[in-house]
Structure 1
Amino acid sequence: MRSIDVLTVTDFRLPGGTSHSTAQELSIQKSMGLTTGLLQANSRLSSRAIPWSSVITREIDRDSVFPIIPGDHIHARLAILRHPTALLAMPDVSKSVRADNAVIVANQPAIKPNGDIEYDVDEVTAVVESRLGVTPEWAPIGPVVRESLEHIAGVASVLPYDWTNVFAYSGEPVIRTGFDSRRPQIGRHSRPQSAKWPNSRADIVSAYPVAGSYDVHILGGAKPALEIISGTPSNWTIHEFGALEPLRFLGAVDFWVYFHHSEWLEAYGRAIMEALWSGCVVILPEYLRATYGDAAVYCEPAEVRAVIGEFCTGVRDYLLQSRVGQEFAAGHSVDLHKDRLCSFMGKEEELRNDELTADGADVGGRSITPRSEQLSTSMPGRTDRFAGSGRPRALLVTSNGAGMGHLTRLLGLARAAAKDFDPIFFSMSQGLEVVGAAGFPYEYVPFNSALQTRSELWHRYFEDRLRLAVRTYKIDVIIFDGTWPYRGMLNVLKSSNLLRVWVRRAMWKPTITSEQLAKAPEFDLIIEPGEYAGEYDVGATSQDSKSVRVSPMTVISETEVLPRAEALAELGLVDDPETRYVLVTLGAGNINDLNSTLERVLSAVSRAYGWHPVLTKAPISSAQASASYTTIETFPLARYARAFEFAVAAAGYNSFAEFMDIGVPTVWIPNMSTMTDDQDARALWARDVGVGLRALESEPESIDEAVARMFDSTVRAAIRDRLASLDRSTGAHEAASLIAGAWHSHQARGRFGNRS
C-alpha cells in the first residue's frame, strides 16, 4: 500500500472556481513537499465527457501530484473532498483506499433559496464513510454555506473555521490611481450560466445600464442576460468565457458589479476575489456582507447607479475602497492553506521532514519513490500496482461501441489472462468504471463525439494519448477490441516493438465491406470471438482465413452464476412461489429509440397474473428507467440470470453468448440500428434451432406472441433442454492462452516489447 499525504477528491472536469481553487491548493501542497493523489468523481455536474480542467493538469507532475487509478492501494493522512454534489459519484475504493482524516469542503449551500435540497448532507457523509473508512468533518467555504449547514440537524461535525478559497496571485497588486468619473467602466466576469445572471429584465438593466454615460464590459458570455433583454446593448462589450485572463480584463474595469438569479446563493466567489485583488470597487448583494465585510459595497440592483454616482462625486472615497478590497484579498494567501493543513497533519517543518520510508531517497527534505517503481504521467493514469511482478504488461484498448460489448469481452480476457499478463485498460467506453470495480487500472479516453471536436484533431489526440500510455506504463502487448483500427493506433504500432493483437468480433452485416480487413497485416495475432450462431454469419469476416477462432467469450463462467435464491436476495426481489420475474434488457438505448418497444414488452409481461418485469440499465445507458417498474443497474448482469424465468433481450454479442451459456430461455429482439453487428442473424438462428424465440421492433404483435409463448412452462423447458446441449463458453481462456503463446514466440524472435 502506498502512503501519501493528501488525497483530493472532486470532479476535476469542472470549469470555474472549484477547479482553480483546487489547483492552487495542489500548488501549495507541492511547495510544502507533500504528495497528493487525485481521485476523479464523474459527477452529473458535467452532462458530457470532457477532459480534466487544464488548471488541474498543469499541476500534475511525476512525483508530487498524480491521479489515482481505482484499484491502486493508497493510504492518505488527509482526504480533502470538494463539491458535495460531485462526491455522490465518488468511485467505490473501499477495498483499496484509506484515510486518517477527511474534510468535505462544502462550496455551496445545502439548501436552495426556495427551500429545495441542493444535496443531502447525510447521504454525502455516508458515501465518504463507506469509501474511505473514516467519518468526515464538514468545512463550509464561507458564512453563507455555514448558515445552511447549521440549519440541518445531524451534520456529524462542522469545523469551527471556514475553508475559504486560497487566492494566491504572485507579486503585489496594482494600486489604483483613480478613474474617469465622466464615463465609469462597469464590469463582471463569470461562467455563462443562467444562475449567474439576474432573472428579471429590470434587475439586469439597472445593474448593467443599457444606455447613458456608462460602458459595460463582460467576460464569460452574456447569453442568459441577452435572452431576457432581447438583444445586445451598444454600450456592452462581451468576451466569451476564457477569452481573456481575468486580471487583464479587470484592469479596464472601475466598478465590478455582481448580481445573480433569485434562486441562487453565492457561497464564496473566486471571481469576486479576483475583482477585489485587481483594485475594482466591488458592488454586491447585501447578503454577502457577512462574507466580504468592508471589502465590498452592498445594495440592490436598482441602486447601483446611485452608488457609483457617490464615488463619482466624491461622497465615497474610491481609492480607499479599492485599497480595502485589495488588502482583504491579500489576506487569503498561501499561508491560509498551510495553516489548516498543519492543523490536521502537524507543523509545517514536521511535514517537510517526515521520516523517510525504507525505499525512499532524501531529495530536498522529502521522500521520493525510486523512479524504477513509478508509472506516472501528466495525463490521468498512474499505477504502481504491478511493480516488480515480472509479468509482461498488456494495454487493452477498446473502441466506443453503442453497448458494452468491446469492454466486456476484454474484461473477460483480462480476468483469464491475469496470471500471465498485467492488464491495463485504455478505453473510450463511458462504462469503464466496471473495470475499476473488477480491480483493474484504467485510463478513459473520450471519443470524438464526446469531445465534440474535429475528426482530424481527435485522431492526433488519440495517438498522443496512446503513445504516452505505452511509454509510461512500459507496455509489451497491445490488445485491441473493435471493428475499425484507428489511424493513431496503427501509427503507434508501426513505430514500436509491441506484440499486436486484434480481437475482432465476427457476425458483420452483409452490407459492411471488407475494407477494414486489409489492416490485418498490422497485427501479429487476430482472434475471432466465437459465435453460437456462427453458421448464420455471411458477413465479410466469414471469408477471412487469417484469424484464429475461439469459443464464445464471456466475462464470467457458469460456475460464477448465483443460484436463484441468492440472486433474488442480492437483487432485493421477493422469493415467492407465486411471483415470477422476467428480465427485460433491450440494450443501452444509445443508438435506437427503445420507448415504444419497451412499453410493448412491459405491457405484454404485466398482463399475466404473477409475472413481473425487471428492467436493466446498462452502465453507459442514456435511456431513463420507467418509474413504474423495478429497475436494476448491476454488472455483470449474467451473475443474476437464474433469478428469472426467462428474458426479453437485444441480440448483442454479450447477452447472446452469456444467456446461451447459462441456459436462459430468451425472446430475442434484434437491434436493427447497429452499424456493423448483425443481431438479426443471431435471433434467426436461435429461433430456427429452438434455443430461443425471435420478435421484431417493427412487428409489435410478434412481441406479444413471443412473450405469451414464454409464459408456457413446457416451451421454456424445451428451450432449456436444447440450451443444455450447447458447448460451454471458454473463449476468454482460449484467447488468453493464444496471446501467451504469441508473447513467448515474440520474445524468441528477439522482440521484447517496450521495456527492453
Structure 2
Amino acid sequence: MEFDVLYLADLRFPGGTSTSLKYDLRACKQAGLRAGILPLRSPLFSRNRILNASVLAEIRSTGTIIVPQNERPRARVALLYHPSLLDKRVHCRTRFDAQACYLVVHQTIRNRDGQRAFPSDHWSTLLTDWYGHALKLLPVSGIVREDLARNGLSHALHAGNWENLIDLADYPQKQFRNPKSPLIIGRHSRPSTDKWPSLPVATTCYPQSPDFAFRMMGVPQAFLDQFEDLPSNWQVLPFSKEPVSGFLQGLDIYSYFHSRALVEAFGYGVLEALATGLPCVLPPYMETSFSDACLYAEPDEAPRVYERLRSDPCLFETTSRKARGFVEERFGLDQFRAKFDKVADPSFTALPAPKKRRAAPAPVIMTVTSNGVGLGHLSRQLAIARAIGPRANVVFFSLSEAIEIARSMGYLAEFRPFRQRLELDFEAWNSYFFQEMREALSHYKPCLTLFDGNLPYAGFVDAVESYGQATSVWIRRGLWRTPQPNSISREGFFDAIIEPGELCAPLDEGHSRPNPNSVARVDPVLMTPRDQLFDRTTARRVLKLPEDAILCLVQLGSEANFDMSLPRARLLEFLDRHPDVIAVDVRSPLHFEEQADFHERLVMRKVYPLGQYLRAFDFAVCAAGYNTFHENIAAALPSIFIPNSNPIMDVQEARAEYGARAGWNLTASAEDPYAIGEQLVQMFDPDFRQSLTRSCLRKAGWWNGASQIAELLQAIAQLPANPLEDR
C-alpha cells in the first residue's frame, strides 16, 4: 500500500481534532492525493470510547484506506495527528515506511497555570526509536508555535504550520440583516469545564439584559450546577443537539470566552462561525490565529462590542463579510495542496519497490456467544460474520447448543457446555472456561474477539486479557429491564461496546448506557437482509406450504422460561372457526420435542434462518424477542406480538407496545385470552393487514446494523477492506 499522506490518528476524538482530520481527508482527495489511516489510541480517553461517527462517514465517502494489521504501508508524508499519540502508552501495531514524518501538535504543552498537558521530554527519543525519524513538529497555529518555542522545541519546528481547513459548502453564509434587539449571541464547544469561564466572568460576558439573548450548545453540567437560577436570557443546549451549521445560522454574533487557565490552540468553533459569516468576539490573544477577521475584547468589554455591532449596521455588515472572506482565503479545502507541498520532500523520488512477499493470510476473528434460551446471540453473530465477508476468517466458539448451524453455513465452530450441563458452580465453570478459551486463543491467534451476551463471563475476560493480542468487542443488546451493575463493571475490559439498534429506543430506560460515550449504537441487526427475502410464491414452495391458503406464522419462542400455552389455545380455537387459515408453527433447531398441539391445520416446520421465508405468510403470532420483532417489521409482516415478560428477559413488553402505538403491529399479554382472540379476528381482515404492512414499510433505511458493525470493526481492529465492496 502506498500513500501520499499516512495519518496515524485516533478516530475517537470528539472535537476540533476529528473535525480537522475529516476535512483533511476530504481536501486530500480533492487534491488528487491518496490518504491512508493507521488507527492509534490516545491515552486521553477510556479504552472503550466510541469512534467519531462523522470521521467514519468521511472515511467511507472519500474511500480512505484504513491500513490492515498485516500490511506495511509506504508514504511520502506520515503525520502523527495529535501530541498525545507520541506517548510511551500508545502502541502502533503496524509498521510503516515514510520519506518524512511529523508530529502535528493540536494543543499547547502547558496551560496558563504552567500545567503540562503532555509529557514532551521523550518525544524525540520515541519518534526516532519507534518510527525511525528525527523529531519534526507541525503546530496547527501561531499560538502553538510560540508555546513550543517557549518549551525549548524551536529546533524541531517546521517552518510552516499545519493549519486546520474547512469546507465552506458545509457552512452556507448567513444572509445579512439589520441587527435588532434582542441580539442572538451564541457559542458552541464540547462540554468540558475548561471551555467555560468562571461563573462571575460568564455572567459578565454573557450578561442578563433585554438587549441580548444567548444560545449555548455544549454546556457542561458541572458549570450549570453553579447557578441557583439560570439567567432568563440563556438558552442551553446539549453538545451536538443539532448540526453545528444549523445552530450557527440561528445566531447574529458568535462570542467565545473560556477558563482562565485554557490556551485555545486554534479554535475550530470560531472557524466554523467565521465561515458562516458571523461577527466573532474573542479574547485578545486569539488574534494570533484570526488576525483582523474578528473583534477582540476582555470579558467585561464584550457587551459593549455587542452593542456597537447592534447599533452600527455598517460595522456589522463589514465584519460579517470580512469573516467569510478570511476563511475562503486562508482555510478553504483548496489550501491543502500547498500545505502538503511544504512538508513533502521536494526531491521526492518514488520509494523503492518492496520485495515481493507471500500474501499474508486473512486475519482471524473469534466470536463467542453465551448459551441463552434461544438463538438471538448466535443469530446476531452469524449476521455480523456474513457482513464481514471474506475480509477475515470467523471462528465460532459458542455455548449455544445450536452451534451446528454455524458449521452448516461453512464456519469453523467449537462448542463448550455451560455450567449446568457440567454440573459445576460458577467459580469452577469459569476456571474451566478460562482454560478452554485460552487454549483456543493460542491456537487460532485471532486479532479480534467478539462477545455477544448479557454478562461477559469472568473466564472469557481473563482469557482475552491473558492472551493480550486481540482487540475485544462486546455486542450487547439494550432494553434492559433493570440496572445491572455487574455487567456495567466489565465494560472496561473491552475496546468497544456495540449496541444493536432498537426501533423502540425511546422507551429504553437506558440501563445499558450509563456512560453514552462508551456505547456505539447501530441500526437493528437482521439475520436476513431485506433484499434477500424470497418472494411469496418461492417461499411457500420451498416450505412445502399451499399457495392459496391464508398462512399464519407461529413463533412463540423456546418456552424454556415462559408459558405460552394460553396463546396457543386461543390460536387453535381461531383455526376451528376459520377453515381458510393454516397455522405454521416454526421451531428452531434447539427445539427437539415433537409437536405438542394437534390440529389438522396446524403444521410444524424446523427452519433456520426463518427471515428469508417471511413473505410466505399473511400474518404472524410471535413472541417479541429482539430478532423476531425486527425481522417481522423489516419484512412488513403483520404481527401479533405476545411478549415474554419473564424478569430475566429484556423488556419485550415495551418493544411490542411501541410497535402497536406506531401502527406496525398488534400486541397482547399472554395472560389475556380475550385480547388475543379479538386480535386474531382483526388479522383475518385483509384490509387491516394491509394497513399494518404500509406502516411497516415506512421504516425504510433502518436495517443496516450488521454492515455498520462490520465497518466499525474494520476501524477498531484494522481489518482489511471487504474486496466485494469494490465491485
TM-score, normalization by structure 1: 0.52
- Residues 299 and 481 from structure 1, CA distance in 2 versus in 1: closer, same or farther, beyond 3 angstroms? same
Q: Is the 8 A contact 1:166 1:334 kept in 2?
A: yes
Residue in 2 that maps onto 1:467: 386
Deviations 1:686-727 (A, max 9, x none): xxxxxxxxxxxxxxxxxxxxxxxxxxxxxxxxxxxxxxxxxx
* Distance in 2 (alpha carbons) for counterparts of 1:231 and 1:160: 50
1:387 aligns with 2:385: no
* Distance in 2 (alpha carbons) for counterparts of 1:306 and 1:275: 20
Map 1:256-655 onto structure 2 (within 5 A). 256-314=254-312, 317-331=315-329, 332-345=331-344, 387=359, 394-397=364-367, 465-469=384-388, 471-473=389-391, 475=393, 478-481=394-397, 493=406, 496-502=409-415, 510=423, 553=439
Deviations 1:576-631 (A, max 9, x none): xxxxxxxxxxxxxx999xxxxxxxxxxxxxxxxxxxxxxxxx9998xxxxxxxxxx
- Residues 483 and 556 from structure 1, CA distance in 2 versus in 1: closer, same or farther, beyond 3 angstroms? closer
Q: Is the 8 A contact 2:35 2:64 kept in 1?
A: yes
Task: Give the CA deviation at 1:399.
Answer: 7.2
Task: Work out which of the residue numbers 210, 216, 235 in structure 1 matches 2:233.
Answer: 235
Q: Is the 8 A contact 1:140 1:163 kept in 2?
A: yes
* Distance in 2 (alpha carbons) for counterparts of 1:80 and 1:34: 15
* Distance in 2 (alpha carbons) for counterparts of 1:458 and 1:193: 38
* Distance in 1 (alpha carbons) for counterparts of 2:127 and 2:377: 36
Q: Is the 8 A contact 1:7 1:76 kept in 2?
A: yes
Task: Give the CA deviation at 1:169.
Answer: 2.2
1:110 aligns with 2:91: no
- Residues 386 and 52 from structure 1, CA distance in 2 versus in 1: closer, same or farther, beyond 3 angstroms? farther
Deviations 1:540-591 (A, max 9, x none): 999xxxx9x999949889xxxxxxxxxxxxxxxxxxxxxxxxxxxxxxxx99
RMSD: 4.7
Counterpart residue type for residue 359 of structure 2: A
Determine helix, strand or coil for the equivalent of 2:410.
Answer: coil
Map 1:126-137 onto structure 2 (within 5 A). 126-137=125-136
* Distance in 2 (alpha carbons) for counterparts of 1:187 and 1:260: 13
Task: Give the CA deviation at 1:172.
Answer: 8.2
Task: Give the CA deviation at 1:258.
Answer: 0.6
* Distance in 1 (alpha carbons) for counterparts of 2:80 and 2:70: 19
* Distance in 2 (alpha carbons) for counterparts of 1:308 and 1:459: 61
- Residues 550 and 274 from structure 1, CA distance in 2 versus in 1: closer, same or farther, beyond 3 angstroms? closer
Task: Give the CA deviation at 1:503.
Answer: 5.9
- Residues 500 and 324 from structure 1, CA distance in 2 versus in 1: closer, same or farther, beyond 3 angstroms? same
Structure 2, unpaired ranges of 5+: 444-455, 470-485, 489-721
* Distance in 2 (alpha carbons) for counterparts of 1:246 and 1:17: 12
Determine helix, strand or coil for the equivalent of 2:126.
Answer: helix
Task: Give the CA deviation at 1:131.
Answer: 2.6
Q: Is the 8 A contact 2:441 2:467 kept in 1?
A: no
- Residues 293 and 459 from structure 1, CA distance in 2 versus in 1: closer, same or farther, beyond 3 angstroms? farther
- Residues 222 and 556 from structure 1, CA distance in 2 versus in 1: closer, same or farther, beyond 3 angstroms? closer
* Distance in 1 (alpha carbons) for counterparts of 2:246 and 2:255: 17
Deviations 1:302-324 (A, max 9, x none): 12211111222229711101111
Determine helix, strand or coil for the equivalent of 1:272.
Answer: helix
Deviations 1:287-345 (A, max 9, x none): 11111111111112112211111222229711101111111111211232211212344
- Residues 93 and 49 from structure 1, CA distance in 2 versus in 1: closer, same or farther, beyond 3 angstroms? closer
Q: Is the 8 A contact 1:110 1:119 kept in 2?
A: yes
Range 99-108 or range 89-98, more displaced: 89-98
- Residues 208 and 127 from structure 1, CA distance in 2 versus in 1: closer, same or farther, beyond 3 angstroms? same
Residue in 2 that maps onto 1:4: 3
Task: Give the CA deviation at 1:271.
Answer: 0.6
Determine helix, strand or coil for the equivalent of 1:104.
Answer: strand
Task: Give the CA deviation at 1:284.
Answer: 0.6
Task: Give the CA deviation at 1:25.
Answer: 0.8
Q: Is the 8 A contact 2:205 2:299 kept in 1?
A: yes
Task: Give the CA deviation at 1:467.
Answer: 3.0
Counterpart residue type for residue 16 of structure 2: G
Task: Give the CA deviation at 1:148.
Answer: 0.8
- Residues 99 and 500 from structure 1, CA distance in 2 versus in 1: closer, same or farther, beyond 3 angstroms? same
Task: Give the CA deviation at 1:474.
Answer: 5.3
- Residues 472 and 17 from structure 1, CA distance in 2 versus in 1: closer, same or farther, beyond 3 angstroms? farther
Q: Is the 8 A contact 1:73 1:385 kept in 2?
A: no
Residue in 2 that maps onto 1:147: 146
Deviations 1:169-209 (A, max 9, x none): 2288425423433211110011111011112x211111222
Counterpart residue type for residue 387 of structure 2: L
Counterpart residue type for residue 114 of structure 2: G
Task: Give the CA deviation at 1:48.
Answer: 4.6
The alignment-based identity, stated in percent, is 21
- Residues 109 and 172 from structure 1, CA distance in 2 versus in 1: closer, same or farther, beyond 3 angstroms? closer
Q: Is the 8 A contact 1:198 1:262 kept in 2?
A: yes
Counterpart residue type for residue 307 of structure 2: G
* Distance in 2 (alpha carbons) for counterparts of 1:289 and 1:254: 21
Q: Is the 8 A contact 2:38 2:67 kept in 1?
A: yes
Counterpart residue type for residue 223 of structure 1: Q
* Distance in 2 (alpha carbons) for counterparts of 1:555 and 1:459: 19
1:67 aligns with 2:34: no
* Distance in 1 (alpha carbons) for counterparts of 2:437 and 2:275: 67
* Distance in 1 (alpha carbons) for counterparts of 2:231 and 2:376: 37
Task: Give the CA deviation at 1:32.
Answer: 3.2
- Residues 296 and 227 from structure 1, CA distance in 2 versus in 1: closer, same or farther, beyond 3 angstroms? same
* Distance in 1 (alpha carbons) for counterparts of 2:319 and 2:62: 43
Residue in 1 that maps onto 2:221: 223
- Residues 166 and 552 from structure 1, CA distance in 2 versus in 1: closer, same or farther, beyond 3 angstroms? closer
Task: Give the CA deviation at 1:85.
Answer: 1.4
* Distance in 2 (alpha carbons) for counterparts of 1:151 and 1:128: 21
Deviations 1:211-245 (A, max 9, x none): 43321111223524312223433322222212211
Q: Is the 8 A contact 1:71 1:96 kept in 2?
A: no
* Distance in 1 (alpha carbons) for counterparts of 2:95 and 2:134: 17
- Residues 146 and 79 from structure 1, CA distance in 2 versus in 1: closer, same or farther, beyond 3 angstroms? same
- Residues 302 and 634 from structure 1, CA distance in 2 versus in 1: closer, same or farther, beyond 3 angstroms? farther
Counterpart residue type for residue 44 of structure 2: L
Structure 1, unpaired ranges of 5+: 360-383, 401-455, 514-535, 558-589, 593-617, 622-632, 637-672, 676-753
Q: Is the 8 A contact 1:76 1:99 kept in 2?
A: yes
TM-score, normalization by structure 2: 0.54
* Distance in 2 (alpha carbons) for counterparts of 1:34 and 1:23: 15
Determine helix, strand or coil for the equivalent of 2:169.
Answer: coil
* Distance in 2 (alpha carbons) for counterparts of 1:556 and 1:460: 26
Which protein, 1 or 2, shows the higher relative CO under an 8 Å CA cutoff with sep ≥ 6?
2
Task: Give the CA deviation at 1:491.
Answer: 11
